[in-house]
Structures are given as structure tokens and as C-alpha cells.
């Protein structure tokens, strides 16, 4: 019963945090008028019942156009440490199209102590991309593929079988809205169901329309004192490596730069012939350097 209550409480707090960030990023009339925004939130807390200690630290950064900070990478951090061994930390780096975050929570072994440590890391952005370019007339049907590249790890996945003393979760959102037709496409990622990798959605639109891109990342970690010396009492969600949002237009030359100034165009992957040419050039350069 204690295990079930622990996971239920952790899930509720993780879901609440995710809904908070998703709500901040969802398109509203005011948000659409602002064109772009960046959000970074880090929170860490820990408490013990005996001796009574309760620490909480948080930092929220939220900037939208025309504030120039809205187009810059924002970093938020929070960290707490109890004398009895409870600790938690969160780190967030949020920018247009690039989100990174880390959250951990731990508690030292104690046979009788009642306590809890938790952390939440949230990163989000939205940006507006005007559909134009490539010499196409307004109204021409086109499409964009939006890719989410995600790489990270989660220990003790929330809700999974295992230690009742530590749990973590990670969720991410990719959403694109055509503000003229109100058509939207989205993909919701979570560490419990999906592996790291590249996930995509495609939206059909027209030249002259605007695309509203939203992305967010929400990490949660929680730990209790382990009554079993061998029980896990440390959880971490680490997505400080990669969380990139990119665009691949159906027609070369279509605009892929957001109103924030960020370039969303996906980097082209060299063809095999290009790789061979590059390799031959490197070999030739090395030979010239060895020649007397």
C-alpha cells in the first residue's frame, strides 16, 4: 500500500508539472500575437519529519516577444540538501528549438526516517514560421515535416515494478498549428513508452499561412529514505544531451526561420557519394602533409 501511494503521489505531481508547462505553451490569442516565447523552470525540494527540516528552491524564467531575451537560451537551476541525507537538483537550458534538462532526487538509507526529496525540470518554447519563399504563389499547397530528436535516460521509471523508494519520469511534446486553417499535428513522447530517437509529424499547409510550433520537456524525480540498505533511493531523469525540433519543407527554399530568428531547417545528411568524396579529400590532405 505504501508503494502504491508513493507512485500515485509522484504521478500526480509529475502530471501537474507537465500540464503547467503545456498550458503555458498552448496557443492563445495573446500568445499568437507575441509570436514566440521561451520558458525555463527548475524546482527542488526535500523534507524530513524528524528532525523537522523543509527546503524548497525554484527558479522560473519566461520571456516572450518583443523582449530580446525570448530569442536567447535561458538557464534555470535549483538545488537543496538536507543534513539527514535528502537531496534534489534540477537544471534547465531552454532555447528556440533546443531544450535540455536534468532532474534528480536522492535520500540516504535510514531505517525509520520519514522524508521525501523531489525535483522538477521544465523547458518550453513556441515560435512562428511564415510559410513563404521558393518563388511560390500564395495559396500553393505545401507541407512541412517536423522532427523531434530526443536522447536521454530515466532511472526507476515512474510506475514500473521495482523499488518503492525512487521514481522518475520524462515527457515531451511536439506540436505544430496552422493558424490560418486551425489544422494541427502533434506527438506526445514519454520515457515509459518510447525510446530515444527521432519522431516526426507532417502538416499540410499553404503558402501565405503561418505555422505555430510548440515544444516542451518535463522531467520529474522523487525519492524516499530506503528502509532496506540495498533498496534504490536515488532517481534521475537526464535529458541534457539532445532535444531538438527541426523542419523539413516539401519544397526546397521554403522558409524555415522562425520569427525569433531561429533556423529550424534540418541539417542535410550527406549522400554516400559525398561521404566518399570527403574521405578521399581527407586522405589526400594527410598524404600531402606527410610528403617531404
Domain extents for the chain? 2-290
What is the pLDDT, as a whole number, of residue 86?
87
If one compares 182 and 26, the residue with the highest pLDDT of the two is: 182
| Least-confidence region, from 13-22, 88-97, 176-185 | 13-22
pTM (predicted TM-score)? 0.80
SS3 (DSSP) at 219: strand
What is the pLDDT, as a whole number, of residue 278?
46
If one compares 282 and 87, the residue with the highest pLDDT of the two is: 87
Contact between 180 and 209 (Cβ < 8 Å):
yes
What is the pLDDT, as a whole number, of residue 29?
42
Q: What is the pLDDT of residues 130-144, one digit of tens each?
A: 999 999 999 999 999
Q: Rounded distance, CA 173 to CA 22, Å?
A: 8
Evaluate if residue 119 carries a pLDDT over 90: yes
Evaluate if residue 4 carries a pLDDT over 70: no
Grid coordinates representing 67 are 523582449
> Closest Cα partner for 151 from 264, 42, 240, 247?
240
Grid coordinates representing 229 are 540498505
Grid coordinates representing 180 are 490560418
| Structure confidence at residue 20 as a pLDDT band (50, 70, 90) | very low
Contact between 244 and 148 (Cβ < 8 Å):
yes
| Structure confidence at residue 225 as a pLDDT band (50, 70, 90) | confident
What is the pLDDT, as a whole number, of residue 50?
77
Grid coordinates representing 43 are 524546482
Evaluate if residue 19 carries a pLDDT over 70: no
| Structure confidence at residue 164 as a pLDDT band (50, 70, 90) | low
Percentage of the chain surpassing pLDDT 90? Answer: 60
What is the pLDDT, as a whole number, of residue 26?
45
What is the pLDDT, as a whole number, of residue 257?
97
Amino acid at each position: 500500500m505504501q508503494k502504491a501511494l508513493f507512485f500515485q503521489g509522484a504521478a500526480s505531481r509529475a502530471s501537474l508539472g507537465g500540464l503547467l508547462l503545456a498550458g503555458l505553451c498552448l496557443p492563445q490569442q495573446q500568445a499568437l500575437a507575441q509570436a514566440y516565447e521561451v520558458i525555463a523552470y527548475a524546482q527542488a525540494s526535500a523534507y524530513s519529519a524528524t528532525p523537522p527540516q523543509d527546503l524548497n528552491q525554484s527558479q522560473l524564467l519566461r520571456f516572450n516577444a518583443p523582449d530580446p531575451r525570448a530569442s536567447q537560451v535561458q538557464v534555470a537551476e535549483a538545488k537543496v540538501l538536507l543534513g539527514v541525507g535528502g537531496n534534489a537538483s534540477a537544471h534547465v537550458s531552454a532555447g528556440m528549438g533546443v531544450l535540455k534538462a536534468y532532474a534528480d532526487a536522492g535520500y540516504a538509507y535510514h531505517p525509520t526516517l520519514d522524508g521525501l526529496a523531489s525535483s522538477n525540470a521544465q523547458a518550453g518554447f513556441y515560435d512562428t514560421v511564415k510559410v513563404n519563399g521558393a518563388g511560390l504563389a500564395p495559396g500553393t499547397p505545401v507541407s512541412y515535416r517536423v522532427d523531434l530528436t530526443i536522447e536521454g535516460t530515466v532511472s526507476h521509471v515512474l510506475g514500473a515494478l521495482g523499488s518503492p523508494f525512487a521514481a522518475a519520469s520524462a515527457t515531451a511534446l511536439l506540436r505544430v498549428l496552422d493558424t490560418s486553417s486551425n489544422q494541427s499535428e502533434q506527438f506526445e513522447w514519454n520515457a515509459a513508452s518510447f525510446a530515444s530517437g527521432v519522431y516526426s509529424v507532417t502538416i499540410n499547409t499553404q503558402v501565405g499561412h503561418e505555422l505555430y510550433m510548440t515544444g516542451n520537456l518535463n522531467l520529474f524525480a522523487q525519492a524516499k529514505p530506503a528502509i532496506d540498505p540495498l533498496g534504490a533511493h536515488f532517481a534521475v531523469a537526464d535529458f541534457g544531451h539532445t532535444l531538438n525540433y527541426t523542419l523539413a519543407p516539401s519544397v526546397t527554399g521554403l522558409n524555415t526561420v522562425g520569427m525569433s530568428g531561429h533556423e529550424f531547417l534540418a541539417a542535410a545528411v550527406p549522400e554516400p557519394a559525398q561521404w566518399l568524396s570527403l574521405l578521399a579529400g581527407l586522405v589526400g590532405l594527410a598524404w600531402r602533409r606527410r610528403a617531404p
